[in-house]
Amino acid sequence: MKKTTLYIGAALILFSSCKKFLQEKPQTFLTPGNFYQTAADATAALNGVFSGLEAQAYYGRTVWIISENSADLLYPPNGNSDRVTLYQNNYTSTNGEIANWWNSSFKMIKGANDVIAHVPGIKMDTVARNNIVGNARFLRAMAYFDLVRSFGDIPLITAPVVGSTDTSLYAHRTPAAKVYQQIISDLQFAETWCTAENKIASGNKGLVSTGAASAMLARVYLTRAATSFADPSDNQNALAECNKVIGYPYYTLLTAYKDIFDCAKKYGPEHIFCVQFALPPSTGNITLRMFTPSALGGSASFFCQNSFFNNGYSAADSIRRNWNIANKAVSIVNGTTVSTTPFFYKYRDSLWTNQSNNSRVNWIVLRLADVYLMQSEALNNIDPTDPAKFDGLNKVRARAGLKDPTQQLNFSNTVTASDFVDSLVADRARELCVEGERRWDLIRLGRFKQRMSTLGITIDDNHLLMPIPLSEIQVNKNLSQNPGFN
Amino acid sequence: MKRLLIATLVLFFCTMVKAQTRKITGRVISAANAPLSGVTVQVKGSKTATTTDVDGAFSLAVPEQTPVILVFSSVGFGTKEVNVTGGSTISVILTEKVQGLNDVVVVGYGTARKRDLTGSVASVSAKDLDKTPIIRADQMLQGRVSGLQLTQTDGQPGSVTSIRIRGTNSINSGNEPLYVIDGFAGAGDLNSINPGDIQSIEVLKDASATAIYGSRGANGVILVTTKKGVSGQHVITVDGYNGVQKVAKKLKLMNAQQFGTYLDSLQSAANAVNPASALALPYTADQISKLGKGTDWQDALYRTAPMQNYQVGFSGGNMDTRYYLSFNYFEQEGIMKNTGFQRGTIRMNLDKKISEKLRIGFTSQIAYTSQLIDVTKTDIGYGAAGSVLNMNPASPVYDSTGAFTYQNQPLPYVSVIGNPVAGIVLSTDRIGTFRGLVNFFGEYEIIPGLRLRSSIGADYSSATEKRFIPTTTYLGSQSNGSGYQGTSNRYSWLNENTLTYTKTFNNIHAVDIVGGFTIQAFDTSAYTSSSTGFFTNTLGANNLAIGSNVQTPGASGTLNTLASYFGRVNYRLKEKYLFTFTMRADGSSRFGTAHKWGYFPSGAFAWRMSDENFIRNIRAISDLKLRTSYGVTGNQEIGSYQSLSQYVTNGYSLGSSPVRVVGITPNNIANPNLSWESTSSADGGVDLGLLSNRITLTADYYYKTTTKLLLNVSVPQSSGFSSILLNAGKVRNQGFEVSVTSRNIDGPMLKWTTTINYATNRNKVLNLNGTDSVLAGKTGPYILTNGLAPSRLIVGQPIGNFYGYVFKGIWQTQDQITKSGIKGKYVPGDPIIADLNHDSLITGADQTIVGHAQPKFIYGMTNDFSYGRFNLSVFLQGVYGNDILNVTKYSHTTGGTNNPFVDVVGAWNGPGTSNTVPRVYSSMEKGLGVVSNFIEKGSYLRIQTVTLSYNAPLPKVTHVFKSSLIYFTVQNVATITGYSGYNPEVSSYGLDNLSSGIDLNPYPPARTFIAGIKMTF
């Protein structure tokens, strides 16, 4: 019996140490208790926000399935109904690509909100700290800009969601006009605090610069200028932001068009903001595989419209044509030249291997040529009679080998403001095809329905917006759907 | 090895014959004059013993001294002592005790006589199955335990099996039962246990039986007990079988000519819709006429595969020491090329009486398993099993030089798929797992009836996976070859301490008390490493440094702990009124700081009516017991650290020549209130024995409610998160189960025994955190590209329904479409989808429940016939009333470029041509998601096993043999079903609770033919 007493005693001792025994000590992840302590933590958290960009369901692929595959240059073969209905612009609220776009955007916003909320509390150099917050605010603005262009009114969440009872968990839609205000305020903060491109160390290229914030602001103002809630000074502001960027001496157009897409020449003088990709162990870019015909080692998932292939470029415009599109090429599978369905040959990588998902191709979000074209657009909007509006556009043409005066635009070959817009629509396609802005360009410039009708695709007004994913509507009773969708 | 064995045997027999002896021979029979085999015949007061053979005969060498007393004993029979004078032949009749009642079954932290049980416990012992080879330990349970549904999810040798006891309690956490191997709780994974070592498996079903396992008891408990030596016998068992397996069924796909025609019609239709991007037709009429049958890709992938099993066991003991030692080797090649499973085990169980009060011992097993799997199966639905169905039959497996072809042809008309046979044959993916399980115990009798038992044990497993995809394959060429090595270690230690007290007072009150505490920790760690860019394929994945592109290594680890106190009181009043009370307190590290401890009580009462005089007088009733129980059990099967807010690692690339930088991102919404799932269950049952237990019946009704479900509640993704883990929701299971055993014929030569069991379970979701329904389940790449799910959890409905559109045939004419008033772009040949809300539009609102994955009932039946030395055992099992979502069918009938099922030859091609298969270009069903014509009835009746065995009279020829059995077995003999896929017993998502009943390119099951021999010496 004595032994029993001893035993019970031992059990009691054990019980008191149970608390420690049952404590969880995470081994492979950080927690709020041990993160956001140092400047290095802040950097890692910012990298985490950037990380979301590389996902296939975001800036790795979905970005152009949403913006290019639904416009007049790119089309998918029969098969994948998400992509086909986006192309035909009869997509519904169950479209998986649209859900990817929604989900991935908010996922990055979540990360950005976390940085914006917690980094200011870290004891570190103020400039460095604001630079990190500025980067996060740029990325948040970029995501909200994508969302507001795609869906109109959206939930606007600007602080971390904590706990299941947080009211922002089941958010209502915020009017688009208010979303734009938040975007502009975020970008202005980024413009103030982000490092100038020439001051970003080569090892940190890829971070947001003040110039990137300015260029993005230009795009935002220009886009808002074409909406019903435009601010009267939007075009002026867009112009001012373009001028800021163009004024920075470290931004220049690359002499050779193809160098823009050279995987060995990333973050050259023309690049303003790019989503970075690299071969494993980094994340590679699947876009190259998607665009490449199967005979050339790709997955033949998207092709170039015959109309653009046949008539998109004049004979003189051969530099860009030869780089951007092709219907035959040397196969990396067996080294022979093969003829194929016309495709976009714009993105290439000498280190890409047959059928690989991974290429080094960077996704260019903003580059100087676009800023020049935006400058021209803003000038045309402000005063169609201003001859300066041809300057930016002609500079971009000249770089593409269209230097001859007969190849340059002026009031005699581009008479009205509307003619100018038509030229701009064509030129933006030639210069910026499949760079992720086509749908937004066409909508902003008022040419979407017209361009799509040339392909036999009728756009109803409802399909100028995308539906909020049905899965989201079903989970959040506070969300209403866009007209024409269920 | 062989030589050593022979030497051991020779030595063994030499020792047996050396003493001066005389011989006693005899025969043991039952009261019904049937020979009794396996009766222990022991010389009283000595260790000399033998057992009777199949004829009841025995022969025993006894010392040259007279007289001796022989003791005859056998389970289920009364012990008999016989005085034997001179050397002689004797005949002994053993009388039967009422069968079964005094059998001892294993329960949690102890054993109990079957007659004393108050809870619902099913027991399957090796003896019930000794004439049938058991390939997998879980086979012992399928169709043999009522209320237990076992689904072999995949035909891959060594793959997991899903087991549900009394329905599905949980939505997001585990529903698999707790496995306890020789007292070691949490030793899941029966795959590495040698089925030949198993003595018995007990299945604890109701709260009275499972509550002693507290937070892990809600899904039922499976207790595995391995063989121990028997005092007085030394037995050597040699068992071996060989078998072949063949694919049991093939799917009927188009041949090359049919597919060529189909592909042309598909392209013509595509060209008509998109003239801007028109392509030339893939084949000319002339080419099609020459295509012929082409390649049968299923034949190219599947093969006749051998399997074999060898076992040598030594067991026995004396009064103080008992031992069991076995060696086993099992090898099964998969019917899919380059897949298979091997297992080698060594088991040693030993116990020793040190003194009258102290006993010590251990059970132990070391096992090495090696599983060879399909490396191309990167996710459910992918892999060779699916790819071979997709291939164009006009694409050959080999080119003219005999080398593998590279990929599917002709592009771009068909899916870009690498040659799947080359992919699997040239690549390797092998998982080698070493596992050691050992449990030591010491038992001390403090005072008579009071025992202290302590045990300490460890379960360690280390799995290493090596994957290599050479540059020569389609998949390998994407990365210039890729190699991978991953190691994962699992380690669990367990200390248990119990006090038991057994005492009977005045022959009226009997108590059996157990109390104790245990602590257990589970530690896991994993490491992965890989590289790509191999200039040579020679070394495979063995040298990853040969790959030029080294990938980021992965590492992970978890530790979770469990501390528990428990107690149980069994009280028997007059051996007629039986009471059981149990209580367990579990502390688990997995839960929120405020909810570490959970308490799980249960109580039960049973009434042995047959021991009451008014029943005893009814001669037909030999046993009658009523049981009832109520209790609360828990479920803690979620991952570790789920209550905490986690910042997880990812990466980005920075720099003008970008290099990887490390990023950190919030991963989840924390929930410090996270707690146990709690299942309260009531059970009422009856055990009935008739005609001296020639017919026995056990029936139970149960009613279980699970609350505080660990539910992944979807949250709006505008939060950046997709779900949060909450204790929310409620699920109910109620059911009825019965099993009947009848010895129909029990003659001296002819015997026929039938066992039938039946179970029905009704599952209902009662609450889902306030919402009416949530999306659930997965289907893989072939349908629902729109991000929706195939199933809904709906309040008032069972878990596992299929939610989609109702198929009503095919639009035959434009006129018909116009008249119907349906809006939308439909053309004749498209499927008619029921417009359930009559708004002339087909929208999400037209979806409804179109099928149920859970069966109405499940059943099993075993018939054993024996005639003299021959025994025939036929085992049938089946399920009734469930539906299967045939996703495989989607990818082969909905207008894609995969090779369609042959019935697509008869696709709609003008008014009146078909009302079941839409026109070839219609991808409507695929785009819509779940459509009812892809839901099929999953009911089946399977002749699972037929075994014929012959007990050869070798022991008559030479006494070296104690028994010798020759057997032939066919497994998966035939299946009666209306289901069109490979196998109605399918669940491509394995253990995923919400995606059951989905057929998505599974590894098809095999039909197996086995011949074996089993001898004891």
Q: Which stretch, A417-426, B565-574, B799-808, has highest mean pLDDT?
A: A417-426
Contact B555 A205 (CB under 8 A): no
| Contact by Cβ (8 Å): A159, A218 | no
If pLDDT is split at 50, 70 and 90, which confidence band does A64 have? very high
pLDDT of residue A79: 64
pLDDT of residue B7: 44
**In a 10 Å sphere around its CB, with 0-12 CB exposed, 13-18 middle and 19+ buried, how is residue B80 labelled?**
middle
Contact B719 A11 (CB under 8 A): no
Contact A341 B929 (CB under 8 A): no
Q: b or e along B3-33 (b: 16 or more beta carbons within 10 Å of the residue's beta carbon)?
A: eeeeeeeeeeeeeeeeeeeeebebbbbbeee
pLDDT of residue A459: 93
Give the closest-approach CA distance of A125 to chain B in angstroms: 20
Mutate to test the interface with B, among A28, A310, A331 (most CBs of B within 10 A): A28
| In chain B, where the domains are located | 18-94, 104-236
pLDDT of residue B192: 76
pLDDT of residue A11: 54
Helix segments in A383-436, DSSP class H? 389-399, 417-432
pLDDT of residue A143: 98
Mutate to test the interface with B, among A8, A12, A35, A94 (most CBs of B within 10 A): A94
| pLDDT of A394 above 90 | yes
pLDDT of residue B776: 79
- Who among A47, A171, A276 is closest to B658 (CB)? A276
Q: Which amino acid is at B80?
A: K
Q: How many CB atoms lie within 10 A of CB B557?
A: 15
Give the closest-approach CA distance of B629 to chain A in angstroms: 30
Is the bond preceding A269 in cis, omega lying within 30 degrees of 0? no
Mutate to test the interface with B, among A22, A118, A362 (most CBs of B within 10 A): A22
Cα distances (angstroms) measured from residue B943 to each of A358, B66, B459, B859, B863: 50, 56, 37, 12, 11
In A, which residues are within 8 Å of B551 by CB distance? 280-281
Q: Helix, strand, coil % (nearest 5) of chain A?
A: 50, 5, 40
Give the closest-approach CA distance of A58 to chain B in angstroms: 13
pLDDT of residue B214: 87
> Tokens in use for A228?
């019903």
- Who among A102, A111, A164 is closest to B665 (CB)? A111
Q: Count of alpha carbons within 13 Å of B966, Cβ hemisphere only?
A: 6
| pLDDT of B784 above 60 | no
If pLDDT is split at 50, 70 and 90, which confidence band does B314 have? very high
Report chain B's C-alpha Rg in angstroms. Answer: 32
Q: How many CB atoms lie within 10 A of CB B656?
A: 18
In A, which residues are within 8 Å of B416 by CB distance? 294, 299-300, 355
Single out the residue of B412, B337, B332 nearest to residue B376, CA to CA. Answer: B337
pLDDT of residue B567: 92
Sign of CA dihedral B396, B401, B403, B405: negative
If pLDDT is split at 50, 70 and 90, which confidence band does A1 have? very low
Contact A3 B452 (CB under 8 A): yes
Contact B665 A154 (CB under 8 A): no
Between CA B450 and CA B460, with CA B455 as vertex, the angle to 5 degrees is 165
The 10s digit of each residue's pLDDT in A190-230 is 999 999 999 999 999 999 999 999 999 999 999 999 999 99
pLDDT of residue A9: 55
How much of chain A, in percent, has pLDDT values that exceed 90? 80
How much of chain A, in percent, has pLDDT values that exceed 70? 95
> Tokens in use for B179?
């496995």
Residue of B nearest to A78 (CA): B270
Contact A45 B558 (CB under 8 A): no
CA distance B300 to A365: 48
**What is the DSSP secondary-structure string of B252-296?**
-B--HHHHHHHHHHHHHHHHHH-GGG----SS-HHHHHTT-S---
The least confident of B331-335, B372-376, B697-701, B891-895 is B891-895
Contact B658 A277 (CB under 8 A): yes
B518 in helix, strand or coil? Answer: strand
CA distance B857 to B600: 30
Give the closest-approach CA distance of A85 to chain B in angstroms: 10
> A125: part of which helix (H) or strand (E)?
none
Cα distances (angstroms) measured from residue B738 to each of A72, B143, B147, B684, B873: 67, 12, 8, 12, 21
Contact A164 B653 (CB under 8 A): no
For A37-160+169-187+456-486, CATH gives: 1.25.40.390
If pLDDT is split at 50, 70 and 90, which confidence band does B458 have? very high
If pLDDT is split at 50, 70 and 90, which confidence band does A401 have? very high
| In chain A, where the domains are located | 37-160+169-187+456-486, 287-358
Single out the residue of B433, B442, B541, B417 nearest to residue B496, CA to CA. Answer: B442
Q: Helix, strand, coil % (nearest 5) of chain B?
A: 15, 50, 35
The 10s digit of each residue's pLDDT in A259-304 is 999 999 999 999 999 999 998 889 999 999 999 988 788 888 899 9
Higher pLDDT, B724 or A112: A112
Single out the residue of B1004, B938, B985, B889 nearest to residue B248, CA to CA. Answer: B1004
| Contact by Cβ (8 Å): B800, B853 | yes
The 10s digit of each residue's pLDDT in B632-675 is 998 887 778 888 889 999 999 999 999 999 999 999 998 888 88
Q: Which stretch, B2-11, B134-143, B679-688, B766-775, has highest mean pLDDT?
A: B679-688
The 10s digit of each residue's pLDDT in B677-686 is 889 999 999 9
Q: Which amino acid is at B923?
A: S
Give the closest-approach CA distance of A479 to chain B in angstroms: 10
pTM recorded for the entire structure: 0.81
pLDDT of residue B101: 55
Contact B788 A1 (CB under 8 A): no
Q: Which stretch, B372-386, B421-435, B908-922, has highest mean pLDDT?
A: B421-435
In B, which residues are within 8 Å of A166 by CB distance? 719
- Who among A44, A90, A155 is closest to B663 (CB)? A44
Between CA B177 and CA B187, with CA B183 as vertex, the angle to 5 degrees is 50
Residue of A nearest to B480 (CA): A353
In A, which residues are within 8 Å of B788 by CB distance? 94, 470-471
In B, which residues are within 8 Å of A281 by CB distance? 549-552, 651, 660
**DSSP code of residue B246:** E
CA distance B298 to B278: 33
Higher pLDDT, B748 or B665: B665
Contact B276 A305 (CB under 8 A): yes
Single out the residue of A389, A360, A361, A386 nearest to residue A373, CA to CA. Answer: A389
The least confident of B85-89, B249-253, B649-653, B719-723 is B85-89
Q: Which amino acid is at B225?
A: T
What is the distance of C-alpha A123 from the center of its chain? 32
B89 in helix, strand or coil? Answer: strand
Contact A353 B478 (CB under 8 A): yes
Contact B719 A106 (CB under 8 A): yes
| Contact by Cβ (8 Å): B671, A217 | no
Higher pLDDT, B784 or B158: B158
Give the closest-approach CA distance of A26 to chain B in angstroms: 7
In B, which residues are within 8 Å of A54 by CB distance? 652-653
For chains A and B, CB pairs below 8 A equal 308
Q: How many CB atoms lie within 10 A of CB B412?
A: 18
> Tokens in use for B749?
């030569």
Q: Across all residues in chain B, what is the average pLDDT?
A: 86
What is the distance of C-alpha B256 from the center of its chain? 39
Q: Which superfamily, per CATH, for B18-94?
A: Carboxypeptidase-like, regulatory domain (2.60.40.1120)
In A, which residues are within 8 Å of B639 by CB distance? none
Higher pLDDT, A280 or A182: A182
The 10s digit of each residue's pLDDT in A9-20 is 555 555 556 778
Contact B519 A21 (CB under 8 A): yes
pLDDT of residue B16: 41
Mutate to test the interface with A, among B445, B664, B714, B788 (most CBs of A within 10 A): B664
Single out the residue of B204, B209, B202, B220 nearest to residue B124, CA to CA. Answer: B202
If pLDDT is split at 50, 70 and 90, which confidence band does B168 have? confident
Q: Which amino acid is at B769?
A: N
CA distance A99 to A95: 6
In B, which residues are within 8 Å of A52 by CB distance? 665
> Tokens in use for B781?
């790449």
The least confident of A218-222, A298-302, B47-51, B502-506 is B47-51
In A, which residues are within 8 Å of B558 by CB distance? 27-28
Contact A47 B551 (CB under 8 A): no
Between CA B875 and CA B882, with CA B879 as vertex, the angle to 5 degrees is 165
CA distance B165 to B167: 6
Contact A48 B722 (CB under 8 A): no
Mean pLDDT of B229-244: 86
Mean pLDDT of B348-372: 92
Cα distances (angstroms) measured from residue B577 to each of B116, B527, B689, B693, B968: 9, 56, 18, 21, 47
pLDDT of residue A13: 54
In B, which residues are within 8 Å of A103 by CB distance? 717, 722
Cα distances (angstroms) measured from residue A9 to each of A35, B450, B569, B871: 41, 18, 22, 58
If pLDDT is split at 50, 70 and 90, which confidence band does A100 have? very high
| Contact by Cβ (8 Å): A23, A31 | no
Contact B715 A266 (CB under 8 A): no
Strand order across the beta sheet in which B89-94 lies:
B57-63, B21-30, B89-94
In A, which residues are within 8 Å of B650 by CB distance? 47-48, 51
Q: Across all residues in chain A, what is the average pLDDT?
A: 92
Mean pLDDT of A453-481: 92
| Contact by Cβ (8 Å): B643, B670 | yes
Single out the residue of B399, B378, B397 nearest to residue B388, CA to CA. Answer: B397
Mutate to test the interface with B, among A7, A8, A20, A24 (most CBs of B within 10 A): A24
| pLDDT of B2 above 70 | no
**Count of positions (residues) in chain A:** 486
Phi and psi angles of residue B961, each rounded to the nearest 5 degrees, phi first: -95, 135
Contact A81 B926 (CB under 8 A): yes
Contact A24 B644 (CB under 8 A): yes
The least confident of B62-76, B274-288, B969-983 is B62-76
**DSSP code of residue B8:** H
Contact B558 A27 (CB under 8 A): yes
In A, which residues are within 8 Å of B446 by CB distance? 1, 3-4
How much of chain B, in percent, has pLDDT values that exceed 90? 41
In A, which residues are within 8 Å of B665 by CB distance? 45, 48-49, 51-52, 111, 114
| pLDDT of B526 above 80 | yes
The residues facing B429 across adjacent strands are B467
Mean pLDDT of B765-776: 82
In A, which residues are within 8 Å of B532 by CB distance? 280
**DSSP code of residue B931:** B
Mutate to test the interface with A, among B376, B719, B840 (most CBs of A within 10 A): B719
| pLDDT of B496 above 50 | yes
Contact B647 A30 (CB under 8 A): yes
Strand order across the beta sheet in which B935-937 lies:
B935-937, B883-886, B998-999
**DSSP code of residue A169:** G
Question: B363 CB contacts (<8 Å, ≥6 apart)?
Answer: B182, B183, B226, B347, B349, B437, B438, B439
Task: Pick one of 2.40.50.100, 3.40.50.720, 2.170.130.10, 3.40.1080.10 as the CATH number of B104-236.
Answer: 2.170.130.10
The least confident of A3-12, B120-129, B330-339 is A3-12
| Contact by Cβ (8 Å): B273, A87 | no
> A202: part of which helix (H) or strand (E)?
none
| pLDDT of B560 above 50 | yes
CA distance B533 to A358: 13
